Chain A
Amino acid sequence: MTMTTRAPGRHLPGAGTPEASAIEHARAEMLQEAKPRGRTRIGADVVCESLLRQGVDVIFGYPGGVLLPLYDVLGDYPQLRHVLVRHEQGAAHAADGYARVTGQVGVCLATSGPGATNLVTGIANAMLDSVPMVAITGNVAAALLGKDAFQEIDITGITLPMTKHNYLVRDANDLPHVFAEAFHIARTGRPGPVHIDITKDALQQETRAQHPDEETVLAAIPGFRPTYDGHPRQLRLAAKMIDEATRPVILAGHGILLAGASDQLRAFAERAQIPVAHTLLGVGAMDETHPLEYGYMGMHGWKHVNRAIQSADLLIALGMRFDDRVTGKVSTYATGARIIHVDIDPAEIGKNVSVDVPIVGDVGRVLTALTPLVAERRPADRAAYFEQLAAWRRESESRSWHGSGAWRDGLLSADYVVEQIGAAANYDATLVADVGQNQMWVARYGGFRRPDSHLSSGGLGTMGYALPAAMGAAVGRPDKETWAICGDGGFQMTMQQLGTLVQEHIPVKIAVLDNTKLGMIRQWQELIYAGNYHSAHLLGPDYLKLAEAYGIPAFRATTPDEVPTAIAAAQAVDGPALVHFRIADEQNVFPFMPAGKGLSDLIEEWGGADE
């Protein structure tokens, strides 16, 4: 009633100005979709062209109001496969999984507001694990930015601290350059996610802007010049230190995989005869059956590995960052060791531990240059050292394997399940871990023989990562069997993606390690919080019925002898399948370094009454 008495436009601050008319126009457009344009080239076309020019063949996305101009033209680019996820977090994790197994930049797409904020966890995950990704979001029309319009949020403000770089594009003419630059930044140097936020009017705007060549892109970012080759003086210093060392250990991290430097690592280790320990994300950097591969380090690493590190006189850190899960208490970390640290990111060197020889560069190129500088050795030259290492290894493997002893009571032991999956897939499958106990079991017992076969949310520790990341991994490497190995907690966080697997025919095999617990929480509560098990128990659905509701074949194993059959049955399915492993309720991951303690303070206990 009152509205009719007011003059039209009265509500608009600054009515009559061009800015006000633009805002009014944008509001009208948001309420009433613009009629499909004639087939002129618009911003949305530029997005698709850019993706194709960058070699993208799949995007993981979810539509929304401001993205409709893009979805309107997507069908005109059949070379771009669009995987419709069930939640945007899954789109980001899928792009992450795709990137990790292919080495290509993963691409995810979400609408403004909640779509964009749902992506955030996945972007942060990619940031902390240095995964190359381009995340695209739509935003409201430029004139409405800052007006708290429907589904508007300052998403570039949100992603700023968790991306290598981000963009807000309001003009379609900027799109070709922004996309070329974004892909360059995402994949160059230390990889990472780049976020592009595009206003709806930019997607709809006609443009004739041409795609830039490589030179133009480089010239525009003089502030981004990664160093690839190690400084010759530093290399000589490192070689001398390596030749002098009697108890050296290589610490292989994610950088080896990101640089594709597994061959260089092996050649270096073999020439200098140095054992290789790996971080969580360095799993697969070296074939685990290689005689110089020594194992997984850190909080839940093997005791023999941590012992070797603590007693080393030289640590050669390759593409790793001395995370607190790796070092424990820094003041007691490998106090007798000098440290050579190779990383492409200069900010990682000297960040967490002080370093004796810093080398900034691509770890593959550094190793290629360093290997001929070090003295060639034979295993016999290190006989005493290797004997000690072997003795420690025998001791620690005899203790930690099947740590809970649950299997002796006929209960299912998670490490046994993981080991069986690895073996059944001939150690060639991509195993994607979730976060928590399952993650440690996968890293310890999966049996990895090749790079990029182990995916894990290392830095951020994102529960719910496994299923959507496995989705992306299976799309990226359809030639490899792909398993998502989750706990019942993590699986329930992102199990909506079962729908995606079915609709998109993605043959992920899902292993739910169900102890009806948030296992790692329960473990800490048992060991640190005097058994105060608040919120550790987790009610789950009937996983077989759940899978059945989606038309996914599902199998169950509750005893050790059912495990191989259940795995084989899932493998025989042409498409996604689920196996519900009802594991022991209270199995712990050992060894275990309580937070705040040092690597020499591992708890290595036989849990359970059977021992």
Chain B
Amino acid sequence: MSDPVTSAAAPTGAPATPASAPSPARPAAAAPATNAERAIPGTGTAHRHVLVAVVNNRPGVLNRVANLFRARNFNIESLAVGHTERPDVSRMTITLRGDDVAVEQAAKQLYKLIDVLKVQDVTAEPRIEHELALIKVRATNSTRAEVLKVVELYKGRVVDVAADSVIVEATGTEDEIDALVALVGGFGIKEMVRTGSTVMVRGPQVVEYEGVAK
């Protein structure tokens, strides 16, 4: 028997029966209007998106959200979660990179979780987007004054002082904190922790959702 792959590519092995006459896969009469390729969702230009997810404040909800992103192959840049004005509701700020279609898909998948009450992509909204950072900076007697000055210039706050280091607390946008980190980096960073962005849309509008009972 001939190599099946080859013979399949050129189906000439069939005997001369009327039905077996090779025909073009796509007859000219029915040629499609366009030869353009069909776009594959999620393959456009990736950029940073900020999603707000309002969720039930119940055990395991964070796990459901985090697991969904992993299972659906979405990369989270940061995820911050905390209480809201309602004790039964938590709010997550999720930043991720992807094209618009992919991020919309992520939002739709999030919405399918029973514990998710609302998802909103606030990337295009005017917003306050801040994170908090704690940075333990090397600061000896000779450099401490200089460290304090830099921190003050950047509206950071020194919240702890030890013999050879200080802890700097800073809040602000990701860029502002990146800038501060770059500056104090010259003195030597011993340890750092950042919360990831939390976001609120400017002006009177709020992220609305249907309330939960209980």
Tell me the A residues contacting B by CB distance below 8 Å: 156-157, 160-161, 164-165, 168, 185, 216, 219-225, 247, 307, 310-311, 313, 330-337, 345-347, 350-354, 388, 394-395, 398-399, 526-528, 530, 600-607, 609, 611
Contact = CB atoms under 8 A, between A and B. Distances in A.
A527 B4 contact: yes
Contacts of A606: 13-14, 20
Among B112, B113, B213, residue most surrounded by chain A Cβ atoms (within 10 Å): B112
Contacts of B1: 609
Contacts of B23: 395
Contact of B56 (A223, A310, A352, A604): A223
Given A165-B114, A347-B105, A388 B30 contact: yes
B116 A223 contact: yes
Contact of B26 (A221, A310, A350, A394): A310
Contact of B40 (A331, A336, A601): A331
Nearest to A216: B213
A310 B31 CA distance: 9
B86 interface: no
B154 to A, nearest CB: 40
B115 interface: yes
Contacts of A346: 108, 111
B19 A350 contact: no
B109 interface: yes
A336 B30 CA distance: 10
B38 A333 contact: yes
A606 B214 CA distance: 65
Contact of A161 (B3, B38, B71): B71
A313 B114 contact: no
Nearest to B105: A351
Nearest to B101: A350
A222 B209 contact: yes
Given A347-B111, A611-B15, 8 more contacts: A156-B60, A161-B67, A223-B113, A223-B116, A247-B30, A310-B32, A335-B38, A350-B41
Among B64, B67, B108, residue most surrounded by chain A Cβ atoms (within 10 Å): B108
Nearest to A527: B4
Interface in B51-110: 55-56, 60, 63-64, 67-68, 71, 101, 104-105, 108-109
B124 interface: no
B30 A352 contact: no
Contact of B36 (A224, A335, A604): A335
Contact of B64 (A160, A168, A331, A526): A160
B37 A398 contact: no
Among B23, B25, B60, residue most surrounded by chain A Cβ atoms (within 10 Å): B25
B115 to A, nearest CB: 6
Contacts of A220: 212-214
B35 to A, nearest CB: 6
Nearest to A396: B19
Interface in B196-214: 209-214
Contacts of B209: 222
Contacts of A607: 4
Contacts of B118: 223
A336 B32 CA distance: 4
Given A388-B30, A605-B7, A600 B25 contact: yes
A222 B39 contact: no
A335 B40 CA distance: 12
A79 B108 CA distance: 41
Contact of B32 (A161, A225, A311, A398): A311
Contact of B114 (A224, A399, A601): A224
A168 B60 CA distance: 10
Given A160-B63, A222-B211, A310-B32, A603 B38 contact: no
B33 interface: yes
Given A222-B212, A331-B37, A331-B38, A347 B112 contact: yes
Nearest to B23: A395
Given A160-B64, A347-B105, A611-B15, A223 B117 contact: yes
A345 B112 CA distance: 8
B186 interface: no
B30 A354 contact: no
B5 interface: yes
B27 A311 contact: yes
Contacts of B63: 157, 160
Given A331-B40, A346-B111, A350-B41, A527 B5 contact: yes
B29 interface: yes
A399 B19 contact: yes
B179 to A, nearest CB: 38
Contacts of A351: 41, 105
A333 B37 CA distance: 8
Interface in B108-146: 108-109, 111-118
Given A220-B214, A223-B113, A350 B71 contact: no
B41 A335 contact: no
A222 B208 CA distance: 12
Contacts of B185: none
Contacts of B71: 161
Contacts of A354: 38-41, 101
A131 B41 CA distance: 27
Contacts of B4: 526-527, 603, 605, 607
A219 B213 CA distance: 6
- Closest 5 A/B residue pairs (Cβ): A336-B32, A222-B210, A311-B30, A347-B108, A398-B19
A525 B29 CA distance: 37
A395 B19 contact: yes
B37 A332 contact: yes
B45 interface: no
Contacts of B5: 527-528, 530
A156 B58 CA distance: 15
A605 B111 contact: no
A184 to B, nearest CB: 10
Contacts of B212: 220, 222-223
Contacts of A225: 210
13 contacts: A160-B67, A161-B68, A165-B113, A225-B210, A310-B32, A334-B38, A347-B111, A388-B30, A398-B19, A528-B5, A600-B26, A601-B25, A603-B8
B88 to A, nearest CB: 11
A260 to B, nearest CB: 22
Interface string B146-168: 00000000000000000000000
A390 B7 CA distance: 27
Contacts of A221: 114
A307 B41 contact: no
A164 B64 CA distance: 11
